[in-house]
Amino acid sequence: MWSNLLNKARKRVLENEHLNDDQKQYCFWCLFSQWQISQVLTYKEPELPESLSECKFDRRQLDNFLRRTIRKCKGAIPVNRRKRSFLIDAQQYSYRDTEEGTFIEISTMDFRKRISIPVKDKNHLKGSLRVVVDFDNSSAVINSLIMAKKKTRKKKNDRS
C-alpha cells in the first residue's frame, strides 16, 4: 500500500512543471525510503547527503509540497457507515440458563434494562465480545477475543 502511494507521489513530482532539477532530486531522495518520507511527514528534517547539501532550495516549501502530495495521493480512508457490529465489555452482559435455553443478556442505555438474546450453544464466553448483527437473516454472531501466549524464538547459536 505504501509502495503504491510513493509511486503515485513520484509520478506527481515528475509531472510537476514548477520544480527545478534540484528540487525534484530532493523530492525523489525523500521518496526513496520510508524512513526519509516518515521524517518529512512528522515535520522532522532528515540529514541530507553530500550530493544534496550543495543544492539550493527551500526545504520547508518542498516538505510542505511532499506532505500535500502524499495527502492527495492517499485518498479517503474507507469507512463503512452501516452499523453492523459493536463491542461489549464483560460487565455489560451476563448469561442466563433456563428451560427454554441459554440466553445472553446485554445491557442497554436505559437504567437496569437488558436485552435477552437466545444463544444456540451452551458455551459461556468471558471477556470482551464483539456482536455482529446480520440484518438479512435476522441473526447475530458473537465473537470472543482469544489471548494467545507469546512464543519466544530460540537464537541460532542456542541449540538447547
**Mean pLDDT across the chain:** 86
**What pLDDT is stored for residue 128 in this prediction?**
86
pLDDT digits (tens, 9 = 90+) for 86-108: 888 888 899 999 999 899 999 98
Domain residue extents for the chain? 2-74, 85-144
Does the pLDDT value for residue 2 go beyond 90? no
**What pLDDT is stored for residue 48 in this prediction?**
87
**What pLDDT is stored for residue 79 in this prediction?**
67
**What pLDDT is stored for residue 1 in this prediction?**
64
As given in the structure block, the three cell numbers for residue 97 are 440458563
pLDDT digits (tens, 9 = 90+) for 22-45: 999 999 999 998 888 889 999 998
pTM above 0.75, yes or no: no
As given in the structure block, the three cell numbers for residue 12 are 506527481
Mean pLDDT over residues 100-128, rounded? 88
Tell me which range, 10-14, 74-78, 119-123, is most confidently predicted by mean pLDDT: 10-14
Q: What are phi and psi of 64, to 5 degrees?
A: -65, -40
d(CA 55, CA 111) in angstroms, rounded, equals 68
Contacts of residue 53, defined as CB under 8 A and 6 or more positions apart, other chains included, come to: none
Four-CA torsion 117, 120, 124, 130, nearest 10 degrees = -60
| pLDDT interval class at 66 (50, 70, 90) | very high
d(CA 59, CA 45) in angstroms, rounded, equals 8
| pLDDT interval class at 159 (50, 70, 90) | low
